[in-house]
Every structure is written in structure tokens, then in C-alpha cells.
Amino acid sequence: MSAMKKQKQCVSKEETRIISSTTSTKVSGENSGQIPTDIILDILSRVPAKSIARFRCMSKDWSVTLRRPYFTDLFLKMSSLRPCLLFTFHAEGKWSFFSSPESLLISDQKSSRVAVDYLSHVPIDYPIRACVPVCGLSCTKDEWVLSGKKDARMMLCNPSTGGFTVLPKVKTRRRRILTYLGYDPVEKVYKVLCMTSCEKPFSQKAEQHQVLTFGTGKMNWRMIECSVPHCPRSIDNEICINGVLYYLADGSGSLETSMPMIVCFDIRSEKFKFIVDEAFKDIEHLSTLINYKGKLGILHPNASVFSDERATGFVLWVIDDIENHTWSKNIIMLPSLWWGLVAGTRFHIVGTTGDSEIMFSPSVVSIPFYIFCYNMETNSIRRVEIQGLGPVNGQKIYTYLNHVENVKLLT
């Protein structure tokens, strides 16, 4: 039996209904029925990414049309209107992805459980760290350090489809590297920013800066200039908003004298900008960058360990104007119910859902597995059980908000 026939047998009843309603029209050609091609593409842009992967196997016309940049861009645009909560971890030789619509978490705030769907997995035989996903794609980071393999390379992955591509080897002999993923919405390309530093003698300062562009032909690393010496904070602390990648860093001075800074890397121009201000001197390594209503936000606790009972709340900074350095500061105090719910769980800040809730997630998988949502308007906490992650326990888990499905092919 051919691979195409096998793929057709996997089509669900709902997918069969969609196919049946559109077979009177050739997807890639003129209208031979009653449904215009642009209407069909609009319908297909609203189905899950897994369905598109199957539809591409239905015929040559469907395969060609559903691989075109126009449809890929249309699907990404529609998918951005229905963001997902994404969970990913490495276990049993694979990098697995699970998701659930954010609307389920936001619309029913009385729900105590949410089920996730299995998306895909990528085979990889050593533990990985992951960049924060951007426009549906994710990237591994720091493979040389984690795997201990000199030939290990980073990979770019599409969680929605399981497709991946191995990136070229970084142009350096240094083993200490740090990478971030960004997206330029104007040119519609993804870029990976890589920084390296000396291991012997040990140096925290990033001394080499390289960029790789994906989506414009052959991939290769290019050296770029950075005029301000800085040390990016190695924890998972970055975010890309409207074509600008932000991450936290420390100046090049000693640990006692260096001032925290916000690094702004414009994906399109590949230029760096830096926000350094006395107001941010208390920002700790546990601080998290978030997308707060389309603006850059910084959340940091008022204790060195957030799960420590000394942490009675946190500070929310919102950057109103990057160019003019204007921002607002909000003090948020946790309700007493907090400690009864978290019970000493070590967790991290994920981000904000809607306009008022801040989400927290444990750093490792447990059974049962809970996330926590704090409502800033009502000063209330709710615990939500995440079901469907499988029989794993103790694995480091990454949780992300605002993930969007993408049907972009990586191979």
C-alpha cells in the first residue's frame, strides 16, 4: 500500500467532510464548481495544521497549492487569532510537543482541568534546551554544552508538524554558546542569533555575534557587530515582539558592579539597542520578559526564590516607549491562598493570558501536573490540572503562551 493511501486512511470524519465539500473545485486551478478557490483556501486556513499535512497527500493539485507561500502566510495569519498553550519536554529519546487552545483556559475560568493534544515529536538522543517559540517555530539551544558532543548542532523545528531542519555548524571553536530565535514580519523570515564566549580562560562576556537567516535560500552564519559588551543571562529569558527580540543581560563589569540591561535586537536590520537605567537595578535573574498587551513587560519576584514563602509578590514593569525610555511600575501582592496551592512547587512565570491573568508553570513534569493562574484584577489564584502529557515524571518541561500553529515546511 502506498504512503499516500495510508495517509488517506488516517483522515478523520471532520476532514472527510471538508474534503467532500470542496472536491467540486480544483484547489489550484479555475473554478469548476460553485466554490471559488479563495474561499476554499480560507476554509483550509482554519483547520488544524495536522489536517493540512494530510490534505497535502490527497492529490498533486492539493500538494502544490498547500505548499505555496501564499497559503502558508494565510494559515499563519488565521492561526495567530487562535493562540495555543504549548508544552514541550525531552524524554525517551524524543523532543515532544503538546498543546491546548488558550481560549479554553481563558473562557472558562472556573475549570479545574484542561486536556492537551499531542502534536508531534522530534527524535533526539540527548537533553535539550529550547528557545521561546516564535510564529510557530522553535529552536534548540546550547547543544554543545548539554550533549558534550563536538559535532552536535542546533535544529529548527515546527511543533505543529514535527518537521525539522538541522542548522549549519556555528563558526567558532568555542563551546559556550547562547542562541535566540526571532521573526521579521516584514520580510517574513526567521533568524537565529548566536553568541559565543571563551571557556578557557572563562569569560561571561559575549565576544562573537552571528546571525543565520532561514527562508531565503542556503543557510549560513554571518558575523555581525555589537558595540556594547554584555553578558546575556543564560536562563530562558527572551521574547520577540513585532520583529524585535528582547533579552536580559548584564554589563561587562564585575558581578557586583554590572548594571542589568534590556537588549533590543531588531531582526530586520540586525542592529542592537540597549536600555540601561537605574530603575532596573533590582531586576534579578529570576525576572521574566513577557508580552503585556502588545508591549514589553518585565515580571520579577521580591525574593530570590519565587517558591520561597518570603516571596510575597512581584513587580511588573511595562515599557510604554522604548525609544524615549518611558515605563510604568506596578507592585502586585500575592493572596494568602497562594502558599496553600503551590505547596513549595518550584515554578517559573510563563506570561499573561488575556488582560489580567499571569500564568505560572512548574519547571519539571509531575503527576498530576498543575499550572497556576493569578488574576491581577480580582487578586485571586486558580490551579488548573493539565491532562494528557503522558506517563512521564521528573522531566524538565517548557511551557509557553501565545504559540501559533504553522504549516511551513522545513525540509
CA distance readout (Å), 87 to 132, 158, 350? 11, 13, 11
Per the CB < 8 A criterion, the answer to whether 212 and 168 are in contact is yes
Per the CB < 8 A criterion, the answer to whether 315 and 331 are in contact is yes
Domain boundary among 30, 59, 77: 77
pTM of this structure = 0.86
Residue 92 has pLDDT above 60, yes or no: yes
Q: According to the model, what pLDDT value does residue 59 have?
A: 86
Does any domain span residue 377? yes
Residue 5 has pLDDT above 50, yes or no: no
Lowest mean pLDDT among 128-132, 136-140, 155-159, 254-258: 254-258
pLDDT digits (tens, 9 = 90+) for 24-59: 555 555 545 567 888 889 999 999 998 898 888 888
CA distance linking residue 304 with residue 340, whole number of Å: 20
**Pick the residue with more confidence: 351 or 4?**
351
Lowest mean pLDDT among 75-89, 303-317, 327-341: 303-317
Count the Cβ atoms, other than its own, within 10 Å of residue 239. Answer: 20
> Does 136 lie in the same domain as 263?
yes
Does any domain span residue 93? yes
Number of domains in the chain: 2
The conformational region for residue 4 under phi > 0 = left, psi -120 to 50 = alpha, else beta, is alpha
Q: According to the model, what pLDDT value does residue 202 have?
A: 52
Q: According to the model, what pLDDT value does residue 13 have?
A: 59
Domain boundary among 77, 104, 130: 77
Does any domain span residue 162? no
Q: According to the model, what pLDDT value does residue 329 have?
A: 87
Print the domain residue range for 261. Answer: 83-141+230-401
Does any domain span residue 172? no
pLDDT digits (tens, 9 = 90+) for 313-329: 888 889 888 888 788 88
Mean predicted lDDT score pLDDT of the chain: 81
> Does 344 lie in the same domain as 272?
yes
